[in-house]
Structure 1
Amino acid sequence: MDQQVVIGVDYGTLSGRAVVVSAADGAELGGAVVEYPHGVLDRRLPSGVRLGPSWALQVPQDWREVLRRAVPAALAAAGVRPEQVIGIGTDFTACTVLPTTADGAPLCELDDLRDRPHAYPKLWKHHAAQPQADRINALAAERGEPWLPRYGGKISSEWQFAKALQVLEEDPEVFARADRWIEAADWIVWQLCGQETRNLCTAGYKGIHQGGYPSKEYLEALHPGFSGLLAKLDHPLSAMGERAGGLSAAGAALTGLPEGIAVAIGNVDAHVTAVAARAVEPGQMLAVMGTSTCHVMNSAVLAEIPGMCGVVENGIVPGLWGYEAGQSGVGDIFAWFLRCGLPPEYAAEARERGISGHELLTEKAARQQVGEHGLVALDWHNGNRSVLVDHDLSGVLVGCTLQTAPEDIYRALLEATAFGTRTIIDAFQTAGVEVTELIVAGGLLRSPFLMQLYADVIRRPLSVIDSEQGPALGAAIHAAVAAGAHPDVRTASAAMGKVRKNAYVPDPRRADAYDALYAIYTELHDHFGRDTDLLHRLRRIRDTGR
């Protein structure tokens, strides 16, 4: 009998990837990656229309191209025939959200709306809705809205309601013409099975759904007509691992897979990775580290944690409270420094040795003792998601001298992101949600130096996912459940997930040295994040000239 397989498709910030996985044991048989032709639109639309500061949009056709090209390529790489596939699952960055017609057509694909920025999907790191988020938070606090504590006291500019309010206020025609306001995680499933579904995960964490959406009265108090968003969102919510439907004829033509196979309910990239990393029990915090970092964990305890991105019942696995926190910039910060701070002689050395700039700077930084560079940085180059929930904050570097070298700054930036993760863990611990283990997944696992640095900074052993495609594997695990190969996500995680326990153990001497730097980081964090509006004033000068 032919081996039964499932396919997981992971939609990231710059590319999508498909992985073919054994439905029995999670063995990864082959995969393929497709870069988005348009990448991230952060300066102008494809037509040339300019975008304002802090915008980040995407093009839906790029997402379809992943299905059209990556799925057949992954099957070919795996040596698997399409008829062996019993299910397909997907995950997406979030909150990545778009306005569509009633039948799911993105408004940006309509001829008369192609030049309207608000007709395009807003990527997770679209931060231009910060003023709307500020007003959502202020009014919710003033009215004592019961859902606000479930989000750490603040809604992010990255989430659905802030982005939707920006559309209403800046382009009311686009808002009116949107029959549906839908997460990309659900939209891509719509493309596969031909019917709209909504998943509990994105609705809970990104859509302020806590047994229901915010009231009409509250939304109207924010802006007249804003309660119209509720009709654009309204749809039954499905739990993780459920079957969205069968692959439609159009979905089969797009992917080359058999019509009728199971399509799993959509999911968020970080949350779906929890089952791939076997991080499904209380106390296991999963950090998915890439361009940004998302921290998710399950707990039997319901608590209010300052700055958390959300706590949702059954949000990750059934029967537990699922928590989320995160950092808006991690790998993006390292890439920024390489782009802007690598001297020509360093670039020449990297070329001569056949290594990347990251590898060269890591090698030089690794020769240092902790604190030798005399620097501390704040990891807010893309704002702060947790615990301050303020995307108008920006990066800070202190301690530079005329002797400061590029590797010094690079190491300080690596350390800053580790300090940011420790700040999040401390917030969970203080609130009574015990973190017993940190498990890491994502592209940054490729740096052993960075992983050891994190273990030393947070003073905990690090376990790591034993897969280079954690989200795609997690999506495939959900597909296996949707197809009936496993009875539930916990069972499927045990059979198909992969993890290396205690892969990195903290060094006590380095950990002690990092405690001193972390104390300085915390002092800077509270000063620039809470005690002064200096960074906000700089942002206003940048954006308005005054």
Structure 2
Amino acid sequence: MTTDIPAVTVGVDFGTLSGRALVVAVEDGRELGSAVHEYSHAVVDRALPGGVELAPDWALQIPQDWRDVLRFAVPQALAAAGVRPAQVIGVATDFTACTVLPTTWDGTPLSELPAFADRPHAYPKLWRHHAAQPEADLIVERAEESGQSWLSRYGGRISSEWQYAKALQVLREDPGVYAAADRWIEAADWIVWQLTGAENRNLCTAGYKGIHQDGRYPDSDYLASLHPDFAGFTAKLDHPLSQLGAVAGKLTAAAAELTGLREGTVVAVGNVDAHVTGAAAGALDPGHMLAIMGTSTCHIMNSDVLADVPGMCGVVRDGIVPGLWGYEAGQSGVGDILAWAVRTTTPYEYAAEARRRGISAHELLTERAAAQPVGGHGLMALDWHSGNRSVLVDSHLSGLLVGLTLDTRPEDVYRALIEATAYGTRTIVDAFTAAGVPVTEFTAAGGLLKNRFLMQTYSDVLNRPVNVLASEQGPALGAAIHAAVAAGAYADIRAASAAMGRLERHAYVPDPARAAAYERLYAEYRTLHDYFGRGTNSVMHRLRATRTLRS
């Protein structure tokens, strides 16, 4: 048992497929022990556990999978760290967003009530649930017609991934579930409710995913223009908002028994997985963009100026740290796209070689792709397999690959897709700069940092140095930092980040020759981007409509 560590915090990160707990030393951010729990149901996108089939573009989750992270991962992380529960001064959580669910007044998910077990809309909608695009389009249309001032804070578009679009879909397609939902709550806040026994809402998810700006939600007249029965929707959301890094409550006896922590341990206000990572990477200064790269990528950045950035996911005062405007943008698919390439383009002989050498198919394709010169494969791709989050904000766009020949190899496709995701990030950086919010520094975090070729490609395409978060558990570390602030170990998030964060500066620097070659190819990407994404040719929408027709 460790005796030389006076205080630790626990950060719990709830991802798309698993949750992880991390025990961190408060004094310097040392990572002492961690554990991961895979969700038993993963992403529910084909059928409910009882067999009810789901339409395309649906993505749901099961609340018990989240509870099981608390039950299994937290005690295992404590054991791995060799610390006593008495040494834990605080716990904090982060979640994917917008992952949102309908509950009763006491926080019971409707999906766990027998009467709603076979009704898809009673289940939590995962962030990548994209079936609410018609509702998102209507929200934007009515906002433009009525001159809603908040629309510009979201780059002029509202995503199908967010709270209002998903809730409106519930009302339109299953009014019974909508009526039974006393509360409509982000999973980031629901999990805190499970720990403290009291409802708490965080400023971050409300601002970025809940259209909460300047102290208020959209008014009832506007909501009624979307649907007469939607006028009172805000009542399902309305609750005082808590500042990030603040105390949400104390661990209940039931939660203490579940997690192995002490009853009464401080619980911090909930947060989004991407936004909490800013503290872990020390990426809190204005102009310092952080890209959290995994199945998707979220780009966050603080600024001391407020500007309208076309296609941004949102800008929220105090949304990342108090006192600054926090900007968010993102790409709906990155790691997911590369996983698709492995599933669909890897022939038997490649898989056999990977097994023989004891490496993954990703590693084999990366190795072969890295041996090529820039442009050597003759391909250009659009990274929209999961739609486009920024800057087009259109989940009904789709992937594209141009230049295929009978000589095209799997590694060619793999490299083209890596490059496409880098071009997508470049498009976001350029949009911020053009809007008067310059990106002065760029840092990457997340699971894709393991692919060094991918990271070098990003540096070359961006033509700028790329820092990296020197931790494989960025969100969990960021949550642990927020827990330290809530427990009173540091005065604020900036101070805690300076002591506990981990940043490796200029881990990758651009190669001038490759950067120049990518500059030319990026122009081709932008031509395709604008042609298919800005209405010149809406063939992607027409094709998707043949697959996802809804009454």
TM tier, smaller:
over 0.9
Give the secondary structure class of the aligned counterpart of 1:544: coil
Deviation by residue 1:322-358 (Cα, 9 ceiling, x = unmatched): 0000000000000011011101110011011110000
Give the aligned partner of residue 70 of structure 1.
Answer: 73
- Cα RMSD after superposing both structures: 0.9
Alignment of 1:43-62 (within 5 A): 43-62=46-65
Match of 1:123 in 2: 126
Counterpart in the other structure of 2:219: 215
SS at match of 1:522: helix
Amino acid corresponding to residue 33 of structure 2 in structure 1: G
Give the Cα–Cα distance (whole angstroms) in 2 for the partners of residues 437 and 401 of structure 1.
39
| Maintained 8 Å contact 2:28/2:500 | yes
Residue of structure 2 equivalent to 1:39: 42
Q: Secondary structure at the match of 2:352?
A: helix
Provide the aligned length of Structure 1 versus Structure 2. Answer: 546
Partner of residue 540, structure 2: 535
Where does residue 249 of structure 1 map in the other structure? 253
Match for residue 105 of structure 2 among 102, 111, 130 = 102
Q: How does 1:81-160 map to 2 (within 5 A)?
A: 81-160=84-163
* Post-superposition CA distance 1:23-55 (Å, at most 9, x none): 111100000000000000000000000000100
The CA deviation string for residues 128-174 of structure 1, in whole angstroms up to 9 with x for no partner, is 00000000011101111000000000000000000000000000000
In 1, Cα distance between the equivalents of 2:345 and 2:183? 43
Which residue type is aligned with residue 230 of structure 1?
T
Give runs of aligned pairs for residues 367-386 of structure 1, distance below 5 A.
Answer: 367-386=371-390
Q: Secondary structure at the match of 1:479?
A: helix
Q: What's the CA shift for 1:543?
A: 2.2
Distance 2:368 2:100 in 1: 41
Q: Deviations over 1:504-540 (max 9, x none)?
A: 0000100000011100000000000011111000001
On the 8 A contact 2:96/2:188 being kept in 1, the answer is yes
Distance 1:58 1:359 in 2: 30
Structure 2 unmatched ranges of 5 or more: none
What's the CA shift for 1:189?
A: 0.2
* Offset at residue 303 of structure 1 (A): 0.3
The residue aligned with 2:186 is: 183
Match of 1:277?
A: 281
For residues 199 and 193 of structure 1, the distance between their equivalents in structure 2, rounded to whole angstroms, comes to: 14
Query: Match for 2:327 among 323, 326, 338?
Result: 323
Cα shift at 1:544: 3.4
Distance 2:59 2:548 in 1: 16
Residue in structure 2 matching 1:229, options 219, 233, 237: 233
Aligned pair 1:28/2:31, yes or no?
A: yes
Query: Partners in 2 of 1:56 and 1:510 — Cα distance?
Result: 39
Any residues of structure 2 matched to 1:397-546 within 5 Å, and which? 397-530=401-534, 531-544=536-549
Matches of 2:301 and 2:380, distance apart in 1:
28
Amino acid in structure 1 at the alignment position of 2:121: H
**Corresponding residue for residue 356 of structure 2:** 352
Q: Tell whether 2:170 aligns with 1:167.
A: yes
Cα separation, 2, equivalents of 1:545 and 1:89: 40
Q: What amino acid sits opposite 1:46 in the alignment?
A: P
After superposition, residues 272-311 of structure 1 pair within 5 angstroms as 272-311=276-315
Provide, for residues 426-460 of structure 1, a one-character-per-residue CA deviation record: whole Å limited to 9, x for no partner.
Answer: 00000000100110000000011110000000011
Tell me by how many angstroms 1:2 deviates.
4.9
Note closer, same or farther for the CA distance 1:508–1:2 as it changes in structure 2 (3 Å cut): closer
Distance 2:550 2:251 in 1: 52
**Separation in structure 1 between the aligned mates of residue 157 and residue 101 of structure 2, nearest angstrom:** 22
Aligned AA (1:35): E
Between the aligned partners of 2:185 and 2:26, the Cα distance in structure 1 is 30
Structure 1 position 5 matched with structure 2 position 8: yes
> Can you give the 5+ residue segments of structure 1 that lack an aligned partner in the other structure?
none
SS class of match (1:136): helix
Equivalent pair of 2:95/2:271 in contact (CA under 8 Å):
yes
The separation in 2 between residues aligned to 1:497 and 1:374, in whole angstroms, is: 41
Structure 2: distance between partners of 1:198 and 1:6: 21
What amino acid is aligned across from residue 199 of structure 2 in structure 1? E
Cα deviation 1:479-507 (Å, max 9, x = unaligned): 00000011100000000000000110000
1:245 alignment partner, SS class: strand
Per-residue CA deviations over 1:175-219 (Å, capped at 9, x if unaligned) read 000000000000000000110000000000000000210010000
TM-score (norm 1): 0.99
Deviation beyond 2 Å, 4+ runs, structure 1: 543-546
- Percentage of identical aligned residues: 71
